[in-house]
Structure 1
Amino acid sequence: MTAIPPLLPRHTPPDAAAKDFRGNKLFRHMTSNEIEALSPSVEMLRYGKGEMIVQRHDQDGGIYLLLDGALLANQYAKSGREVGYRRIAPGGYFGEIAAIDGQPRSANIVAIEDVRIARVPQTLARRLFETSPNFMRALLEDMAGLTRSLTDRLFELTAVSVACRVDIELLRMATAAGGDGVTAVINPCPTHAELAALLGSQREPVTRELNRLAGLNIVRQTGRTLQVLDVPALTAEIERIGGEV
């Protein structure tokens, strides 16, 4: 993915997505009245695939809630190599770190599909920090979860093979997609290049491992849909090649 300069966001009509932000997990411990009181201050935005929502070093301190689509948090080395930190799915959010410490953004956030976003301005976020224990409870829980996730990814990057990292990431996505515990459908599945950026690898080893799993009848990919045909077999394969589940 090539770095793209930030573009002006397209605002949705005031009532087009007015209720969607209320279901974001950031508000899960707040009462309906508390959430409703936020409505006049929350800004609704749209971005197209490939647009950059925020750029590393930006000073904006708002918190962004993803309503539809998918986002990638990434950074580019001077060589042009892309490093992906995490994908953000609907119901997720970003920007809380800059809202807390007032420092510039630490990563780019790029739309990898068309997206709708609700923006909580920095002034509102800081007021919630000071006045809403329920808001802060959710935020602290999520930051603890993110820290654990990034710790796991750092370990995987340094201790297991690319093939194993691909398998672990597929299992994460299959678990997030739900299902019956035996099969799962990941749609849309990240491209091989996007997976490589997330896993600290190149596209070719990712493609080789996906082809190997397909040959074992563990996965099947059709376009942007990836079916995990045998979740227990994928789990066993991770353990066989040196990973932990």
Structure 2
Amino acid sequence: MAEQSGKAAAGGGRAKAAGALQGPDTLERIGLLSDLSPAARAEVERACQWRRFANGEQILDRNSDSRDVYFVVDGNVEVVNYSGNGREISYAVVPAGGYFGELSAIDGERRSASVVAQGTCRLAALPPKAFEALLAREPAVALKVMRRLAGIIRASNERIMDLATLGAIQRVYRELLKLARPDPVSSGGWMIYPMPKQHEIARRAATTRETVARVLANLLHGGQMTRRDKTYYLTDRDVLEQAIVRLDVRQGPVIS
């Protein structure tokens, strides 16, 4: 399916995105390759297939047997999975300069998640053998990949803990706290801008859009959050943090 999607992107996808992405096919902005010499980077570029995808187009299917590693040259992509009842769960967004697909390239197994384009994207696909050769001859690149895999394990552990110890409402609280940034105008204040769409928060929290809508409505009604245009302000961040802690403490013995 992913191979068919890639072919569609190489034909129909390019037609949809014609003229949308300009510039040379270069990997100079890919963080993983930042330590390479120009000649070494050019060698990787020559081994890649360059593809364009339109907004919402599937790049990889989780059951695909493709093994390529993808470098995100322009645009963003979203890594998603699906629960048993078909609900979409968002794992991560990979921005321009990032990469994905290294797990299958390393272990030869099927893809662990699906990947969808967010807006028009330009990607470079590196075959698994070329990726293995790159890791073998460039220790700095191999170390970066190992650190990224360690980060994925840590994030997965945190997500598992959230699913095991937090209810749906508390998981929404957790996502709101992750989104909150210090308010540059109000000392000690916190704000969320821009607030993601409700279905996007629901995917991150592994719940439904209706639950997110209910949580936001309750927080606004209760005064723990206010809204001005597209900006949301947390007037009482401690309330959300304490609600999460209380549930962690109550559920802790269940998983100890």
**What TM-score do the two structures reach when normalised by structure 2?**
0.74
Instruction: Summarize the alignment of residues 58-137 of structure 1 with structure 2, pairs less than 5 Å apart.
Output: 58-77=64-83, 79-137=85-143
Distance in 2 between residues matched to 1:29 and 1:213, nearest whole Å: 47
Residue 99 of structure 1: SS of its match in structure 2? helix
Structure holding more helix per residue: 2
Local SS of the residue matching 2:125: strand
Unaligned runs of 5+ in 2: 249-256
Query: What does residue 23 of structure 2 align with?
Result: 16
Give the aligned partner of residue 238 of structure 1. Answer: 240
Count how many residue pairs are aligned between Structure 1 and Structure 2. Answer: 231
Counterpart check, 1:208 vs 2:210: no
- Inter-CA distance 233–40: structure 2 relative to 1 (3 Å threshold): farther
Partners of 2:71 and 2:138 in 1: how far apart?
18
Contact kept, 8 Å, 1:29 with 1:138, in 2: the verdict is no
- Residues 68 and 126 in structure 2, CA contact (< 8 A), matched pair in contact too: yes
The offset of 1:40, in angstroms, is 2.3
- Counterpart residue identity of residue 237, structure 1: V
Equivalent-residue separation in structure 1 for 2:98 and 2:30 (angstroms): 7
For residue 240 of structure 1, give the secondary structure of its aligned residue in structure 2: helix
Pairs within 5 Å for 1:164-183: 164-174=170-180, 180=184, 182=189
Residue 45, structure 1, aligned to residue 45, structure 2: no
CA contact (8 A) 2:81 2:113 kept: yes
The Cα of 1:84 is off from its aligned counterpart by: 3.1
The percent of aligned pairs where both chains have the same amino acid is 25
Counterpart CA distance in 2 for 1:174 and 1:131 is 41
Structure 1 counterpart SS, 2:174: helix
Q: Any conservation in 2 of the 1:17–1:44 contact (CA below 8 Å)? A: no
Any idea what SS the aligned residue of 1:60 has? Answer: coil
2-structure distance, mates of 1:162, 1:126: 41
Distance change in 2, residues 1:191/1:15 (3 Å): closer
Residue of structure 1 in register with 2:231 after alignment: 227
Runs of 4+ in 1 over 6 A off after TM superposition: 12-15
RMSD: 3.2
The C-alpha deviation readout for 1:22-61, integer Å capped at 9, x for no partner, is: 2223224445553344232333322112211011121211
Kindly indicate whether the alpha-carbon contact (under 8 Å) linking 2:58 and 2:115 is maintained by their aligned counterparts in 1: yes
Indicate the SS of the match to 2:109: coil
**Distance 1:26-1:200 versus aligned 2 partners, 3 A rule:** same
Alpha-carbon shift at residue 87 of structure 1 (Å): 3.0
Structure 1 pair 220/139, CA: closer, same or farther in 2 (3 Å)?
farther
